[in-house]
Amino acid sequence: DTGVSQNPRHKITKRGQNVTFRCDPISEHNRLYWYRQTLGQGPEFLTYFQNEAQLEKSRLLSDRFSAERPKGSFSTLEIQRTEQGDSAMYLCASSRGAGNNEKLFFGSGTQLSVL
């Protein structure tokens, strides 16, 4: 069990640029989640995958955000035309997927700064 891995740890970009983050979940975990967290707040749900299927997406999620999980393994989160308000910590989590009795394992996150 090597844990959830996220890359890069930090990303600085200029407004209007596109950025992509990667998440490698714990192997054999079939659920993968993306969250966003700003300073002083708890994580905010963005989207989640059951294997390769994206099953839920937050209504608050701008269409500039897109996530994929090809082959049900790693996942990528892309933000197009970044805005300063996108600056946040982006967290990935995975779980075995057992209904309402499951533990989420989080990565260390990617800290995005949009200048």
Partner 1 sequence: DAKTTQPPSMDCAEGRAANLPCNHSTISGNEYVYWYRQIHSQGPQYIIHGLKNNETNEMASLIITEDRKSSTLILPHATLRDTAVYYCIVPIMDSNYQLIWGAGTKLIIKP
Calculate the alpha carbon distances from 26 to 31, 73, 91, 93 in Å: 10, 9, 14, 9
Calculate the alpha carbon distances from 68 to 15, 38, 39, 54, 114 in Å: 23, 23, 26, 8, 22
Ramachandran quadrant class, 86 (left: phi over 0; alpha: psi -120 to 50; beta: rest): alpha
Q: Which stretch binds partner 1 (CB under 8 A): 12-20, 67-75, 79-87, 104-112?
A: 104-112
Residue 74 binds partner 1 (CB under 8 A): no
Judged by CB under 8 A, the residue of 77, 109, 112, 114 near partner 1 is 109
Residue 12 binds partner 1 (CB under 8 A): no
Judged by CB under 8 A, the residue of 8, 56, 78, 83 near partner 1 is 56
The minimum distance between CB 81 and partner 1, in angstroms, equals 27
Q: Which residue has the tokens 């299927």?
A: 53
Applying CB under 8 A, the site for partner 1 has a residue count of 23
Judged by CB under 8 A, the residue of 14, 28, 40, 71 near partner 1 is 40
* Binding interface with partner 1 (CB under 8 A): 4, 40-45, 48, 55-56, 91, 93, 99-109
